[in-house]
Amino acid sequence: MAGHHHHNETRELPDFPTEISFKAVYRFSPHQMETLKNALHEQGLSAVVESRPSSGGKFISYTVTAVFESEERLKAVCGLVAEIEGFMTMF
């Protein structure tokens, strides 16, 4: 995807504010859900957080759904989520 950047390309971010869902995967540890919810709450987001442990129980994925007012807010929140202990990946 290097080089050309057209403003009318199909894969742009939608108009904000918009509801966005993303998944974050962590090594499982207790109190993670609380930590995650608190971080989101401190950002003023009323987010819905759903969790799903991996089959082996070592990892857990959280699906976060919230309305973001701007791309900056989204990036700030993703940054916070990535700082929580045990973080592996986000998509």
68: CATH? 3.30.70.260
> Rounded mean pLDDT of 1-23?
70
CB of 9 within 8 A of CB of 78? no
Structure tokens given for 87: 């973080």
Name the strand (E) or helix (H) holding 70. none
Q: Is the pLDDT of residue 83 over 90?
A: yes
Domain span at 84:
18-90
Q: What is the pLDDT of residues 12-22, one digit of tens each?
A: 667 899 999 99
Rounded to an integer, what is the distance from CA 70 to the centroid of its chain? 14
The reported pLDDT for the residue numbered 70 is 93
- In total, how many domains does the chain have? 1
Q: What is the pLDDT of residues 29-76, one digit of tens each?
A: 989 999 999 999 998 999 999 999 999 999 999 999 999 999 999 999
The reported pLDDT for the residue numbered 30 is 87
Is residue 36 assigned to a domain? Answer: yes
